[in-house]
Each structure stands twice: as C-alpha cells, then as structure tokens.
Structure 1
Amino acid sequence: MSDSGSMMVPAEKVPVLCEVDLLVCGGGPAGVCAAVAAARAGARVLLLERHGFFGGMTTAGGVTIWHSLYSTDGETQVIGGLVQELVERLVRRDAVRNSRPDGRGHFVLDTEYAKLVLDELVRDAGVVPLLHAWAAGVVMEGSQIAGVLTQSKAGRQAVRARMVVDATGDGDVAALAGAPFEKGDAEGLMQPPGLCFRIGGVDRRRASEEGFKTGAVMRALNRPMDYNGQEYPCFLWTTESLFREDELLVAGARVTEVDATDAWSFTRAEMEGRQQMEWVLTRLRHEVPGFEKAYLTGLPAQIGIRETRRILGEHLLQEQELLEGVRFPDAIAQGTYPVDIHNPRGRGIVFKHLDGRRREVLPDGSRREETWTPDGKERQTPCYQVPYGVLVPRKVENLLVAGRCISATHEAHGAIRVMVNCMQFGQAAGAAAALCVREGYAPRELPAPLLRRLLLEQGCCFLGER
C-alpha cells in the first residue's frame, strides 16, 4: 500500500497506571530474568508482555533447545544463575531432557510447561505481571525516561519508573527514547527469521536411518518452490518431542530480506513462513522415508526472529573478542555458542567455533570445513565473556537493554543472540537496575565489582566459578 500522508494527533492526558522502581518491557527469556533478578534484589518491578504468556522465542516462537551451558571441553559449567534454575524447575515437572547422560549436552524442553514454569518464577519473585500490554511510547525529560506509555485493551496508560529495561528483543523502547542503533550487515540486511513447527505421524527410526543419513531430506527440499518459482532457502533441523514418540519439532522454513520492526515486512514473513512450512511438509511426506503419514500438529504464535535492531552502547561487542575469548573486568555473561550467521540473502550458513573451526553449510546442503584462525590451527578457548557496557545505551540515562538487542556488531550478534545468552543479559540488567535504584548510581557509573558480586550471589558463573 502507498504512503497516505500524515495525521495530526491531539495532545492527550494519559492516566498513570503505576509507579515502580523498574519497568521491564518484554517478557521473553531476557525480560523474565531481568524482572526476577531485580525483584530478588529488592526492587518493585512491573513486567510487560504483549502475549498472554511469558517466554518469547521459547514459547511464542516454539524454539525448544537451550544449549552451551558448559565450556567447549564440556568440563566446566559457564552459565548458571536463572538459566540453571529454570532448567531445574523444568526437571521437577519432567518437562526437559538433556542430550547427554551426564547432563552436559543441550536441553530439549516442553514449551507448554515452560509457560507454567515462567509464571511460577515471576510469581514467586514478587514481580507484578501485566500481560497483553506493550510499550508504545516514552515521555522524555532531557536524557531521562520519565515515563513509558503502555498500550492494552484498556487504552493508553503511563508507567513511571526510576529505571527501565528494554527486553523487547527489537530495542523498541531504546529506539523510542532516541538511543542510536544499527540493523543488519554492511548493506542493512538482517539474518532471516525462521519458522519452527511440529509434525506427528513420523516413524522416527526410518526418518533417521533412511531420510537424514542417506541425504533424502536435502534432496527433497533442495529445489525450487512451487508457489513462487524461486529457490527455497533450505535449512532444516529437527529435534524429538518429549512426550510423543511419533512427533518431531522441525525448523525448516525461513524468509529472507525481512525487517521485523516493519509491520508490513513482518506480516509477509509470517504468511510466507507458513506457506513454506506446508511445502516442506508436503515434500517430506511424499519423498522421504518415515514421513509418509506425517501431519501438522502445531504452529507457533509467531515466526522466530533472529535479528533486528542492535542498540549502540558503551561497549560495541566485536566478533574477534568472542572468538579469542577476551576476558573483561566487567563481564556479566559467558557463553560458548558459535558465531552463527544465516545468509541474509538466501541459502547457506556460516559457523565460527571457539576451537578455530569454520563450518559452512552450502546452498546445495553440502558442508565445507576449514579454520578461521590466522595460523590455520585449532585452539582451545573455554568460553567467551560479554561485558556490562553492551547493556548500557548511549544517550539515555536510566535505561538498560537486554536480550538480542544488546550492543554488538552483526557478526558478534550471531553468537550472542541465543536464549541462554539473552537470559544472562536479562539477569545482569535486572540486577544492575536494582543496584542503581538502591545505591543511587546512573547505569554507566555502576561499579562492576558491585554488580558482579550480586550476580555471583544469584548463582551466576564467571570463568566456571559459582
């Protein structure tokens, strides 16, 4: 549709919903961890979430895997805190399993039980939840956010908060407040969103032995899309359902050249993603052994978004800082997930691992392996660290960001965007916000030792120490 000009909106008197120490905007994994960490540190916290449940890409996006809690050699736990606590709460409900008997692999969780566990975590911490509401504007006083305008079925209301954490994933509040940001690679193209969906009626043994191992899956999917005549940007991974022997979770649809901060573009991604899903399911059913009786059992509430805004903060995280395992005195998070860039233009994925390996999934589904290190040798880096400065936006004083919108380059973002990392950023942002309120610091002046001490008290890991 064409631009229809502009419209003058009259000034309005907006009722104040409440006044709190901390407002957390966005109830995904990062936002929940921010709210809980702050509440446990004594702050009065309101948590906004636009869906009817918490969990973000875990629950709304249907992404069931959490990984990378251990060092690259598998010997030392490098992620703890609320990530570990959430895993333990899921274990008590038999709603999560690990890929290794010793518990040091990746976790596959049930997204429906995750909704219950996140409710419980928020409730137990004394956080005030507000579902079906989202941040729609800000009221600025100089470089301070004086209030955040929320939107819900009740209309527009304001929240006064001494501190704000933007955990929207897209940096919505930071952008509204005037914080600078970047999008995408050098040409502005972002990693493509992907759709996760569930299919039942699968003979998992035959699908594994005769489908994946023989290459039948890639042969079936590596061809033009019937509905638009273009090449299908194929990437497919699966994981098993926890509770059904014939069910798989499939990530096999992705839409290129999408900007999920633009509603028109986001709409196209949602609808094309579902169209691709049906095409994938049809191909699997007709051409791959084990999928002959497959049928759709579930679609997520939304397509999974990998990248949108990246807020520019006091520290701009670089790819090499991650790959080389740089140690930061103000480190607030650790990780081992590789740099993982899905080609914004179509097919192909590039992984850069901490041990020096570079793996590329080529457009035809084949793989190429080499090293990214200057000397061509592999190395042993146990984990990378992320400094506090990536949470502190430039130009706005009482705001912190958490989740995938932190301050990082496009390349570094490829590693830090996964949920177990985002949860750490959330816990750190919430703890920092509580300390700023309690001790009277501006976020960019908060002493790193004070924050790290609180994070250690909350069970976080630094260099493997709890």
Structure 2
Amino acid sequence: MSYKSNLFVFLFIGLIFSCSPKTENLFEADIIIYGGTSAAVTAAVQAKKMGKTVLVVSPDTHLGGLSSGGLGFTDTGNKSVIGGLAREFYHRVYLHYEQDSAWKWQKREEYGNMGQGTPAMDGANRTMWIFEPHVAEQVFEDFAKENNLIIYRDEWLDRENGMVLENGAIQSFQTLSGKTFQGRMFIDATYEGDLMAAAGVSYFVGREANSVYGENWNGVEVGVYQHGHYFQDSISAYKVPGDPSSGLLPEISDQAPGINGEGDKKLQAYNFRMALSRNPDNLIPFAKPENYNPARYELLARVYASGWDETFNKFDPIPNNKTDTNNHGPFSTDYIGKNYDYPEASYERRKEIILEHADYQKGLMYFLANDPKVPQEVRDEMSKYGLAADEFTDNGGWPHQIYVREARRMIGNYVMTEHDVLGVKEVPQPVGMGSYSLDSHNTQRFVTPGGFVQNEGDIGVHPKQPYSISYGTLIPKKDEVSNLLVPVCVSSSHTAFGSIRMEPVFMILGQSAAAAASLSIDQKIAVQDLEYEALRKVLLEEKQVLEQ
C-alpha cells in the first residue's frame, strides 16, 4: 500500500469518527484493544500515557489473564531485561507485600522468599516476582482505575461476521452482544488471536517442521527428554499389562507420534495453575467430581508403583501458605493431547474443552488425596492441601483462566525463530527482550513399539544470554492489515514462542505495541511504515530494555 493510500485510509477513518451518527451500540476510540490479558492492560495504560483515547474490549471478566489466573510463581528468566510497565507491575506487588496487612495466613518471616533464580522479594530493586492471584488482579485493576480505562467486559468478538475492513485496514468490529467498536488502531491482546484471525492475518497452529526455518528443536521430538516429564520405566500402555488385546489405558493416544523433525498441528498441553492452600482455615477440600472415574488415573498409579516420588516438586510456594501448583512428572495436571482444536474452535467447543480440562484436573486432585493406589505418605500430605478459599472466590476457588500455553501464532513482518532466541543471529528493531528457555510442555502421549507408554514434545533449551524481540513480530504483513498489532500471538516459530510466551514478556510487548500504535496515529501511517528510531526513542523513555 502506498503512502497516498495509507493517508486515504486514515482520512477515511477520521471522516467516520467526525461524521458518523452516534448510536447506542457504537463505541469509538483512537485505539481499540481486544483482550483482558496482562498485555491488554499495559497496552491500554501506554496508550493513555501518549494521549490517545482507548477502549479495552475483553471477553474475560477478570483482568490479567494468567498473571492473575494462578501463575504467581513467575517465569522470569533474567529479571534485568524486564522494564517499563512490566517492572512497575512487579514493583507494585512488592509494595503490597511490604504491608503487614498483606500477611494474613502466614508470618512474613515464615515465607521462604524463594523465586526462580533470585529471591521472590528483591529489596534492592524493590520488586517482587512471586504473588497470590488476587494481588495481581488488584494491581491490574489499580492500573485501570488510575488511568481511567474504559473496559467492556464479557464482550466476545463476532468471529464470523463482526469484522469490517476497508482498503486493508480494520474499521471496526462487532461483538456478540451487538456492540460495535470503531478505531484508528487495533491491538489483539488475546491468547487465542481471534481478532487477528478474523481480520484475515496469516497465522500458524502447531509445530513447524525443522526444515521450515532451519531449526533443531521444532517438530516431533520422540526420545528427547529435557525435563522430568517422561516415563522413566517400562510402563505398559494396556489395561492388562503386556496384553494389547485388552485395549489402551485412558489418556493414551492410539496414533503414532510421527517422525522426528516433522511438523504437525498438535499443541503443547494446557492445564490450570491452581492456587492451593495449606491453612485449614483457608482451604476448600478436593471434592469428588460428579463424573469421577479413577480408572483414568491408572497410569499415575503405575508410575507410583514404579517408585516415582516427585508429587510435590512443583507445589511452588507463594505468600500466605499457598502454592502455585503446576504440572510435574510423566502424568500430572497437563491434559496431554486434549487441546488440539482449541485455537480455532467455536466458543461453545472451547467451553467444552475448558470443562474437560477442569474435570480431568479436579479428578486428579481427588485421586491423589483419596485413592488407595496412591502411596499413603502422598495421600497424607495431600490431605493438608485444598483450593485456596480466598482466591477465585466467584468460581469456587478454581482458576478462571485455563493456561493457554500456545494457540495461533501470527506469520507477520518478521518471524522470530530459535536462531534469534539462541543468539545465532542479530534481531532487528528490538522492542523488548526475553530470556527464558525454549520451553514446551508435552504434546502427545503414545504407545512405543514395545507396548509401553511415553510422552513427546517436552523441550527446555536455555539461551546463553537474553535476546531482543523484533518490532516485526508484532505486526502483520503490510498487504494484509495496516492498523493491527499483536503482542501475544506474536510472529514466531513454535520453538521461539516457547521462550517468548512468558507473562512479563507479554506485558513488555503490550506496552511497545501501544506505543507503536500511538505514533502511527500521530503520523497517519500504517504500522509497517513507522520509523523505528521514533519508536525506539519512546520505548527508552518508558524504560523498556531493548538490548544488552
């Protein structure tokens, strides 16, 4: 698109803003942000800081996504590269826990102060990286209140008929409630990338073959064990051990895993990051689900019978005698192979998938606490835990956000690959940094030729140093959409996204995306035509860290 056509698009949008009749269900702003994630909030705050009107249209009721949805044991990597509003978020968490009133269920001195690589509470830098879900949500709500953010909650994009484009630019979109949101710039800050997809932007779901980008860790990875999430002993996959005619145990696929290095449409597993409590006055015991069937956890019973004893290794401590409990081991809270259709599924089907994951995980917790096939010492310890009663209080203590580790990924102006993350090549036009390992959870559970069960897809390759993330990862190709930025479902390969997909990085990229959107409005240009040096100047002023 030429400069003249870009200018026409912006003049056209401006004409709509100045002349269109106001209706009850039409809402206008310079920047429309779709999503309620941590990236959505930082994007909205940055837009307001740059003098733009902004509306947040969130399908979620709660702000913060996974940051307030149970992921309190933050995956940070090298904390020195976390700047801007992301660092401000962790500073505010620190200020909260500096108050004596914050320590209701535990004495401050009893908290172990253990974080990922550094202390949870970093007094020297006045940041805290580990927190309770409700504390994170309150910080996001404070951001919203202080910046007078207008947020429309429980508003779902009409994915089939709601998008209006003109000359390669989004004019507006409609939600299922009938509201129309009209803007100059749009930001898709969802985990799923629904706005991006509805606008016709190219994307990928699954794992690329290694050959696509010349990578080593993409595609199928049978026999690659980089964490402890695999079956270490020969455990039969069949209901009657060693007898294929008896049929497979539950939760095992009957499909071959594929050839190493080949691509597929499979996704790393989802789960819920539960906030568990050990305080008897602040816990909800694990209830027996209505459709509970202990047979579906027989694999775990066999893991225990083999001598495995790492049940509590990822019950990571967060303040007030609680844990952020994550997947650990060969059979755990990850519901492997049950999310493949989630990214592009209808809203109704997504709700079914989320319910299936919740039923599986709730049943697992009940099994761990009660089943006689679980070692007595494990059951005794599990009996001390329950869902934290003061978290997710409108949902019975259960997290309101499923952990969408990966869904759609844009194929945009620049595709980040493992070569960028591992420092093999220089990243152009940096707008933020990452540092976490190439991290993917298991993608499938299958039967080996010998009749044993095994997992596949788990990788954990550490970069030697932090890496920059390119502006090109936030923007579509220019011939697709000229006024959209995507700070969550960024343009990257499966392996690169395994590192980028951390909540602090999403906050960083949300802020940078809003800065780019604001400058593009000022200059009346497409986001692809924005002069990088102008964006860089603003980001450095906002204390973003762009390179080391």
TM value normalised by structure 2: 0.67
Structure 1 residues 343 and 111 mapped into 2: Cα distance closer, same or farther (>3 Å)? Answer: same
CA distance in 2, matches of 1:169, 1:280: 26
- The answer as to whether partners of 1:98 and 1:107 remain within 8 angstroms in 2 is no
Cα deviation, 1:28-67, whole Å, max 9, x if unaligned, reads 01111111111111111111112222101122x3211223
Q: 2:73 aligns to what?
A: 65
TM value normalised by structure 1: 0.78
CA distance in 1, matches of 2:75, 2:275: 20
CA distance in 2, matches of 1:165, 1:230: 45
- After the TM superposition, which residues 3-42 of structure 1 pair with which residues of structure 2 at under 5 Å, given as runs? 16-42=25-51
Report which of the two has the higher share of strand: 1
Q: 2:133 aligns to what?
A: 111
Residue 386 in structure 1 maps to residue 469 in structure 2: yes
Which of the residues 418, 423, 440 maps onto 1:324? 423
Amino acid at match of 2:45: V
CA distance in 2, matches of 1:148, 1:232: 46
Q: 1:208 aligns to what?
A: none
SS of the equivalent of 2:48 reads helix
Which of the residues 271, 294, 307 maps onto 1:226? 294
Q: 2:86 aligns to what?
A: 83
Q: Percent identity?
A: 26
Query: What is the CA-CA distance between 1:144 and the residue it aligns to?
Result: 1.0
Residue 92 in structure 1 maps to residue 101 in structure 2: no
Query: What is the CA-CA distance between 1:281 and the residue it aligns to?
Result: 2.2
Q: Considering only aligned residues, what root-mean-square deviation do their CA atoms show, in Å? A: 2.7
CA distance in 1, matches of 2:472, 2:135: 34
SS of the equivalent of 1:57 reads helix
Which of the residues 533, 541, 548 maps onto 1:449? 533
Stretch deviating more after TM superposition (384-393 or 99-108): 99-108
Count of residue correspondences: 393
CA distance in 2, matches of 1:232, 1:180: 40
SS of the equivalent of 2:360 reads helix
Residue 148 in structure 1 maps to residue 148 in structure 2: no
Query: What is the CA-CA distance between 1:264 and the residue it aligns to?
Result: 5.5
Amino acid at match of 1:309: R
Q: 1:296 aligns to what?
A: 387
Amino acid at match of 2:435: T
Cα deviation, 1:306-349, whole Å, max 9, x if unaligned, reads 11111110001111210126433410111111001112113352
SS of the equivalent of 2:366 reads helix
- The answer as to whether partners of 1:65 and 1:106 remain within 8 angstroms in 2 is no
Q: 1:375 aligns to what?
A: none
SS of the equivalent of 2:420 reads helix
CA distance in 2, matches of 1:83, 1:325: 27
- After the TM superposition, which residues 151-162 of structure 1 pair with which residues of structure 2 at under 5 Å, given as runs? 151=176, 155-162=177-184
Amino acid at match of 1:197: M
Residue 178 in structure 1 maps to residue 262 in structure 2: no
- After the TM superposition, which residues 411-450 of structure 1 pair with which residues of structure 2 at under 5 Å, given as runs? 411-450=495-534
- The answer as to whether partners of 2:487 and 2:510 remain within 8 angstroms in 1 is yes
CA distance in 1, matches of 2:386, 2:149: 40
Query: What is the CA-CA distance between 1:190 and the residue it aligns to?
Result: 1.1
Residue 249 in structure 1 maps to residue 306 in structure 2: no
- The answer as to whether partners of 2:34 and 2:187 remain within 8 angstroms in 1 is yes
SS of the equivalent of 2:513 reads helix
CA distance in 2, matches of 1:80, 1:254: 31
Amino acid at match of 2:133: T
Residue 407 in structure 1 maps to residue 506 in structure 2: no
Residue 353 in structure 1 maps to residue 462 in structure 2: yes
- After the TM superposition, which residues 302-321 of structure 1 pair with which residues of structure 2 at under 5 Å, given as runs? 302-321=401-420
Amino acid at match of 1:383: P
- The answer as to whether partners of 1:29 and 1:56 remain within 8 angstroms in 2 is yes
Amino acid at match of 1:36: V
Cα deviation, 1:358-389, whole Å, max 9, x if unaligned, reads xxxxxxxxxxxxxxxxxxxxxxx321111000
Query: What is the CA-CA distance between 1:25 and the residue it aligns to?
Result: 0.4
- The answer as to whether partners of 2:420 and 2:427 remain within 8 angstroms in 1 is no
Which of the residues 46, 51, 62 maps onto 2:55? 46
- The answer as to whether partners of 1:202 and 1:291 remain within 8 angstroms in 2 is no
Amino acid at match of 1:133: E
Cα deviation, 1:245-270, whole Å, max 9, x if unaligned, reads 3x333224122241323146533432
- The answer as to whether partners of 2:519 and 2:535 remain within 8 angstroms in 1 is yes
- The answer as to whether partners of 1:14 and 1:156 remain within 8 angstroms in 2 is no
CA distance in 1, matches of 2:427, 2:498: 20
- The answer as to whether partners of 1:433 and 1:443 remain within 8 angstroms in 2 is yes
Amino acid at match of 1:32: V
Q: 1:269 aligns to what?
A: 353
Residue 398 in structure 1 maps to residue 483 in structure 2: yes
Query: What is the CA-CA distance between 1:422 and the residue it aligns to?
Result: 1.0
Question: What are structure 2's unaligned runs of at least 5 residues?
Answer: 1-21, 104-112, 208-262, 281-292, 304-310, 328-332, 389-396, 446-454
CA distance in 2, matches of 1:125, 1:15: 25
Amino acid at match of 1:340: D
Structure 1 residues 325 and 89 mapped into 2: Cα distance closer, same or farther (>3 Å)? Answer: farther
Structure whose CA Rg is larger? 2
- The answer as to whether partners of 2:70 and 2:132 remain within 8 angstroms in 1 is no
- The answer as to whether partners of 1:329 and 1:448 remain within 8 angstroms in 2 is no
CA distance in 2, matches of 1:458, 1:15: 37
SS of the equivalent of 1:18 reads strand
Amino acid at match of 2:172: G
Q: 1:216 aligns to what?
A: none
